[in-house]
Amino acid sequence: MAITPAQVFASLLSDQEKSKRCRSEYRGAQSPHSSPAGEREVQVSASAEVTAPPNRARLCVLVGSRKEAAAAAKSSVNRRLDYILQSVRAHGVREDSVTVTKDFRRVENAYQMEAEVCVIFSDFGKMENLCNLFVEKLDSSVVVGSPQFYHTTEAVETIRRQACLRAVANSRRKAFEVCRLLGQTLGRPLIVREEETKESDGLTSETATPDNMRSLTIQQQINNASMTVCSKVFVTFELKSKDNLKRNN
């Protein structure tokens, strides 16, 4: 991962010099990063990046049949639909993670019955096993779709929060190194602001399109659905004065 150079701003004026400077600049435009008058401070800009794979996958299986008799079309679909649902339950998938929709209509001189089963997985191993089972046991009239990987809302918020917290931690480490270099002691944070957040999907150069989705491996599809969040923060830290250090000692 490329590291963005840190931007560091330090104010090492004495309290008297800082007071004079603050009075002379009081009537001027206020800096967006300004702090209360008299503060000795170090300002650091830092960033962090967090990448996480998807935590959910949606698998849809389509079953269809066209027969001259309506009962025959329904029976053909229901028989395979029951097998699919039994297999899903046998793999420990919860009922509220399964959705079944049915469509029955007349086409020319025949009856067409279609049923779609959509299953939400948090365990991708179970999903892969079921995909292989359906392909092996069911005929070509059953279409096993490519899984759709995604992040839940809670997972996205967690990734964003982790990126911000890591950026703040990076800013503190950088500020500590600056203080050590200048012979100063780092104090408490005065300002913490997240200035920028960037989000992107995918870790590979493969493009997930309907034409090539089936040619991608499960791991490649997971990589394409991975989410990366980059957070940039601006933090102002107090520089402890010698008087404060003496009082603490």
Please state the rounded mean pLDDT for residues 61-83: 94
The CATH number of the domain holding residue 197 is 3.30.110.170
Q: Which of 150, 180, 198 is the last residue of a domain?
A: 150
**Domain shared by 40 and 158, yes or no:** yes
Q: What is the DSSP string of the chain?
A: -PPPPPEEEEE---HHHHHHHHHHHTTSPPPTT---TT--EEEEEEEEEEEE--SEEEEEEEEEEEESSHHHHHHHHHHHHHHHHHHHHHTT--GGGEEEEEEEEEETTEEEEEEEEEEEES-HHHHHHHHHHHHHHS-TTEEEPPPEEE--HHHHHHHHHHHHHHHHHHHHHHHHHHHHHHT--EEEEEEEEEEEEEEEE-SSS----TTTGGGS-HHHHHHHH-EEEEEEEEEEEEEPPHHHHHHH-
Q: Is the pLDDT of residue 33 over 90?
A: no
Question: What digits encode the pLDDT tens for the residues 82-114?
Answer: 999 999 999 999 999 999 999 999 988 899 999
Query: Tell me, what amino acid is at 236?
Result: T
Name the more confident of 34 and 76.
Answer: 76
Q: Is the pLDDT of residue 183 over 80?
A: yes
- Kindly report whether the global pTM for this prediction surpasses the value 0.85: no
Name the more confident of 157 and 16.
Answer: 157
**Domain shared by 76 and 121, yes or no:** yes
Please state the rounded mean pLDDT for residues 204-224: 71
- Is 210 within the bounds of a domain? yes
- Domain, as residue range, for 120: 56-150
Share of the chain above pLDDT 90, in %: 70
- Is 181 within the bounds of a domain? yes
When divided into structural domains, the chain yields a total of: 2
The CA-atom distances, in angstroms, between 182 and each of 132, 151, 243 are 63, 45, 18
* Contact partners, residue 94, CB within 8 Å, separation at least 6: none
Average pLDDT of the residues of the chain: 84
Q: Is the pLDDT of residue 234 over 60?
A: yes
Q: Which of 86, 121, 150 is the last residue of a domain?
A: 150
- Is 132 within the bounds of a domain? yes
Predicted confidence at residue 237, as pLDDT, reads: 96
Confidence tier at 247 by pLDDT (50, 70, 90): low
- Is 1 within the bounds of a domain? no
Predicted confidence at residue 101, as pLDDT, reads: 97
Please state the rounded mean pLDDT for residues 44-53: 97
Predicted confidence at residue 26, as pLDDT, reads: 35
